């Protein structure tokens, strides 16, 4: 990804900081659920932002933990739901 592409993503997506609390909670989650550490940290940051859906090709599609659900963006059966997520008014920042 180029710097220009990253800058364009930043205008569309909310970018959140990772805190020490996220890292600690992520380490505990990784141990409990057998996640990779970085997946667990990103999960914790997303959870702190009240995300309902976690996009991942690495985690089990449909898995639910702490009120958040995994959605594999590369699973063809999820195309309609992905379109709904990305086209909804709630998704886009102003």
Q: Where are the alpha helices (DSSP H) in 1-94?
A: 3-12, 20-33, 37-48, 79-87
Which string of b and e fits 54-78 if b means at least 16 CB within 10 Å? bebeebeeeeeeeebebbbeeeeeb
How does residue 6 score in pLDDT terms, banded at 50, 70 and 90?
confident
pLDDT of residue 90: 58
From the number of C-beta atoms within 10 Å of its C-beta (0-12, 13-18, 19+), residue 29 rates as buried
For the chain, the domains span: 36-94
How does residue 91 score in pLDDT terms, banded at 50, 70 and 90?
low
Token pair for 13: 């997506």
pLDDT of residue 88: 66
pLDDT of residue 14: 79
- Judged by DSSP in three states, 64 sits in strand
At 24-61, the pLDDT tens digits run 999 999 999 999 999 999 999 999 999 999 999 999 99
């Amino acid at each position: 990804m180029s710097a220009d592409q990253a800058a364009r993503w930043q205008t569309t997506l909310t970018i959140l900081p990772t805190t020490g609390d996220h890292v600690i909670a992520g380490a505990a989650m990784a141990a409990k659920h057998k996640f990779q550490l970085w997946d667990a940290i990103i999960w914790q940051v997303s959870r702190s932002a009240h995300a309902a859906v976690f996009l991942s090709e690495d985690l089990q599609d449909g898995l639910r933990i702490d009120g958040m659900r995994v959605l594999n963006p590369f699973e063809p059966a999820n195309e309609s739901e992905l379109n709904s997520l990305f086209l909804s008014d709630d998704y886009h920042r102003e």
